[in-house]
């Protein structure tokens, strides 16, 4: 039963109370054969980093609609590095203005998706990003 | 330092990685398990099972909190293994038990690990026992194991855990559900969760009646233990201290009656059996060759030999090969 499942943490940091998008993505990843750890609303960056560590995920999908992404995302990336999780790929979805995307990618975010992004693209981007993992 | 040594030294990252290796059945994971095995056998394994929507995850959250902030005594390091079903069609899974366990976040004395059942029936994943062993070696005690919430097939948990909680909730099904399931027979403790909802009295009475009717005496050769029926409200923590006390009483009962060791022995024997069977069958197949194995299968398919005769012919061939 040797198999290597892709494990993804789907989390909503911050205070916005709307997780429909996160749930749609969670389902799409499940249907693509991935194991999705869904943590629900109002996660602090510390909670997300801790869950990523304990669950040993390959990918974190963050959904942020509140506009606080330029604060939350760098904080989460710092915590991941502090936990020795720099190999974990971070994907971001939600309401993210175009002008923030280059900076986010520079910080280490692998992919950014807005409303209406096809879930197939997210699935194939995750697979591509992990193609070279050990 | 080996990964096993790092785990014994308390490194969380190594622990999480080994759990993945073990779950994926990788050879390096097995080697670490071998190294850790002498350190296992100490933790109290508590199984939590019951139907979908009875509040298992919330109850596990409350119990873990209780062990972290006990009314008396030292806090204990708690591990939670939460199993959710894999999709039989895609092999994917959404593991949502952490949603109910937010109270435990930020506490380094709690480690939560979600597992997908990966096609295994019986409420646990194939690797759950091995994952529990890793936590045991890492010094977590108790270890709370939450099964898939199907409600009728979680007998596996009784084989793995020392103490099995069966969680029910009012209004989710009548008492007939309880008789047919066989789930009552595995219960060391019965919990009526959501006990603030209407119908809780009826559910409690029904469960007590059920136990009175058919208390499975001698089931685990521990006839002195009659499963208590406890009431909890996981949302606000009502009844959780009493539940934890009952769990401790059960552990004390197991130890005093010799049942703890007996069950440990049964579990080890079952594991030895399984591994021996797998290893012997692999060795035999290697010795007689895949061609003869296939041929035996073909002859069975043509109804020329029975399954028992096919096995005999393979064993004879192996004898001949070893002379």
pLDDT tens, position by position, B43-60: 999 999 988 888 999 999
3-class SS at B94? strand
Range of weakest confidence among B28-37, B131-140, B217-226: B217-226
A-chain residue closest to B135, CA distance? A54
Residue A79 belongs to some domain of the structure: yes
Which residues of B fall within a CB distance of 8 Å from A2? 24-26
A109 occurs within a structural domain? yes
Whether chain B has a CB inside 8 Å of the CB on A68: the answer is no
Q: What is the pLDDT of residues B148-194, one digit of tens each?
A: 876 555 678 888 899 999 998 887 765 555 555 566 778 899 999 99
Residues of A in contact with B94 (CB under 8 A): 26-27, 30, 36, 38
Per-domain boundaries in chain B: 1-39, 41-257, 269-322
What tens digit of pLDDT does each residue of A50-64 get? 999 999 999 999 999
Residue A134 inside a domain? The answer is: yes
Q: Tell me the C-alpha distance between B79 and B88, whole Å.
A: 28
Residue range of the domain that includes A95: 46-66+73-134
pLDDT interval class at B63 (50, 70, 90): very high
What integer is the mean pLDDT of A13-29?
88
Q: What is the CATH number of the domain that holds A100?
A: 3.40.50.280
Domain count, chain A: 1
Contact between A24 and A38 under an 8 Å Cβ cutoff? The reply is: no
Higher pLDDT, B213 or B10: B10
Do A35 and B86 make contact, defined as CB atoms within 8 angstroms? yes
Percent of chain A with pLDDT over 70: 97
Stretch (H or E) spanning B289: none
Mean pLDDT over all residues of chain B?
A: 88
Q: What b/e sequence results for A12-36 when a residue is b if at least 16 CB atoms lie within 10 Å of its CB, and e otherwise? A: bbbebeebebbbebbbbbbebbbbb
Asked if the model's pLDDT at residue A117 lies above 80, the reply is yes
Residue among A34, A38, A55 whose CB faces B99 most closely: A38
Q: Does residue A15 fall inside a structural domain?
A: no
**In chain B, % of residues over pLDDT 90:** 58
Q: Is B293 exposed, middle or buried (0-12, 13-18, 19+ CB in 10 A)?
A: middle
On whether residue A56 sits in a domain, the answer given is yes
Tell me which CATH code domain B41-257 carries. 3.40.50.300
In a domain, A16, yes or no: no
A90 within some domain: yes
Tell me, what's the ipTM? 0.91
Q: Does A84 sit within 8 Å of B13, measured CB to CB?
A: yes
CA distance B90 to chain A (A): 5
Q: Quick check: is A106 in a domain?
A: yes
Q: How far is A103 from chain B (nearest CA, A)?
A: 29
Which of B38-42, B66-70, B106-110, B205-209 has the least mean pLDDT?
A: B205-209
Is-contact B140 B104, C-beta < 8 A? no
B25 pLDDT more than 50: yes
How many interface pairs between A and B have CB atoms less than 8 angstroms apart? Answer: 86
Among B144, B134, B143, residue whose Cα is nearest residue B8: B134
Are β-strands B110-116 and B93-95 bridged in parallel, bridged antiparallel, or unpaired?
unpaired
What pLDDT is attached to residue B218? 47
B86 Cβ neighbours under 8 A, 6+ residues apart = A35, B92, B93, B116, B117, B118, B119
Interface mutation vs chain A, best among B13, B86, B98, B117, most A CBs within 10 Å: B98
- Our separate counts of H helices and E strands in chain A read 5, 5
Closest Cα in chain B, distance from residue A67 (Å): 23
- pLDDT above 70 as % of chain B: 91
* B307 neighbors B298 (Cβ within 8 angstroms): no
Question: In angstroms, rounded to a whole number, what is the distance separating the alpha carbons of residues B201 and B204?
Answer: 5
pLDDT of residue A76: 96
- pLDDT at residue A2 in the model: 46
Encode burial over B150-180: b for 16+ CB neighbours within 10 A, e otherwise: bbeebbbbbbbbbbbbbbbbbebeebebbee
What kind and span of H or E run contains B124? none
């Amino acid at each position: 039963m040797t198999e290597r499942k892709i494990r993804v943490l789907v989390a909503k940091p911050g205070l916005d109370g709307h997780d429909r998008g996160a749930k749609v993505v969670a389902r799409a990843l499940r249907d693509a054969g991935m194991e999705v750890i869904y943590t629900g609303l109002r996660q602090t960056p510390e909670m997300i980093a801790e869950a990523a560590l304990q669950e040993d995920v390959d990918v974190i999908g963050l959904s942020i609609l509140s506009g606080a992404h330029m604060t939350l995302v760098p904080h989460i990336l710092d915590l991941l590095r502090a936990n020795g999780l720099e190999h974990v790929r971070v994907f971001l979805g939600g309401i993210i203005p175009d002008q923030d995307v280059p900076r986010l990618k520079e910080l280490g975010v692998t992919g950014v998706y807005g409303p209406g992004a096809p879930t197939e693209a997210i699935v194939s981007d995750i697979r591509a990003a992990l193609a070279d993992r050990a | 330092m080996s990964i096993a040594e790092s785990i014994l030294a308390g490194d969380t990252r190594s622990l999480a990685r080994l759990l993945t290796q073990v779950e994926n059945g990788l050879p390096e994971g097995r080697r670490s398990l071998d190294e850790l095995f002498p350190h296992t056998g100490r933790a109290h394994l508590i199984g939590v099972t019951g139907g979908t929507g009875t509040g298992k995850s919330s109850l596990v959250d409350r119990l873990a909190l209780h062990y972290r902030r006990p009314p008396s005594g030292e806090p204990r390091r708690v591990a939670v293994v939460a199993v959710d079903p894999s999709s039989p069609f895609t092999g994917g899974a959404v593991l949502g038990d952490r949603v109910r366990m937010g109270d435990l976040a930020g506490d380094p004395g709690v480690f939560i690990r979600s597992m997908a059942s990966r096609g295994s029936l019986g409420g646990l994943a194939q690797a759950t026992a091995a994952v529990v062993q890793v936590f045991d070696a890492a010094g977590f005690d108790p270890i709370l194991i939450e099964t898939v919430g199907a409600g009728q097939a979680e007998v596996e948990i009784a084989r793995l855990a020392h103490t099995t909680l069966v969680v029910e909730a009012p209004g989710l099904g009548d008492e007939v559900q309880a008789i047919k399931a066989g789930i009552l027979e595995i219960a060391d403790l019965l919990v009526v969760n959501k006990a603030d909802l209407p119908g809780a009295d009826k559910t409690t009475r029904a469960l007590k009646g059920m136990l009175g009717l058919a208390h499975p005496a001698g089931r685990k050769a521990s006839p002195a233990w009659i499963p208590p029926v406890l009431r909890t409200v996981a949302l606000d923590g009502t009844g959780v201290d009493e539940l934890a006390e009952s769990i401790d009483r059960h552990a004390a009962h197991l130890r005093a009656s010799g049942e703890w060791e007996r069950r440990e022995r049964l579990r080890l024997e079952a594991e030895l059996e399984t591994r021996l069977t797998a290893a012997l069958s692999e060795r035999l197949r290697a010795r007689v060759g895949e061609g003869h194995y296939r041929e035996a299968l073909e002859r069975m398919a043509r109804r020329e030999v029975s399954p028992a005769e096919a096995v005999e012919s393979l064993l004879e061939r192996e004898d001949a090969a070893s002379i």
